């Protein structure tokens, strides 16, 4: 189990932007790949320490996942927000997901 903390969720406006932050242990195998999920249901964006990224089709071109230099933080920049993007966002590792282990998440509300 990897302890992760999400933050940055706010009430945004459609067309606006928010940035979510995930803080984790870094320097671990599990930390090598971090995914952002909405409502614990599906991957929205993924980032690896190798520099690979992946996105849900509906957010491509709008959301950007990135890491800071020490790799203890993973960000999800959410641009051009849509009402459908609202939800509770979680960052997590593959193993945590398999173990059904989640943090508290961070809520994102989007007003039309």
pLDDT band at 52 (very low <50, low <70, confident <90, very high): very high
Give the three-state DSSP class for 19.
strand
Average predicted confidence (pLDDT) for the chain = 94
Sorted by sequence, the CB contacts under 8 Å of residue 104 that are 6+ apart come out as 5, 6
d(CA 31, CA 53): 14
Residue with tokens 């599906």: 42
Tens-place pLDDT, residues 61-82:
999 999 986 778 999 999 999 9
So what's the pLDDT on residue 69?
62
So what's the pLDDT on residue 56?
97
Cα 3 to Cα 28, 40, 55, 90, 98: the distances in Å are 12, 16, 23, 12, 14
Give the three-state DSSP class for 45.
strand
Over residues 34-55, mean pLDDT:
94
Over residues 26-47, mean pLDDT:
91
């Amino acid at each position: 189990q990897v302890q992760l903390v999400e933050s940055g969720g706010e009430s945004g406006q459609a067309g606006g932007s928010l940035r979510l932050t995930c803080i984790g242990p870094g320097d671990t195998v599990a930390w090598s790949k971090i995914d952002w999920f909405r409502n614990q249901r599906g991957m929205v964006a993924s980032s690896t320490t190798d520099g690979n990224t992946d996105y849900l089709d509906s957010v491509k071109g709008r959301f950007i996942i990135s890491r800071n230099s020490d790799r203890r933080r993973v960000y999800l920049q959410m641009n051009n927000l849509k009402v459908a993007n609202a939800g509770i966002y979680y960052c997590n590792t593959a193993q945590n997901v398999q173990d059904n282990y989640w943090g508290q998440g961070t809520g994102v509300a989007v007003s039309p």
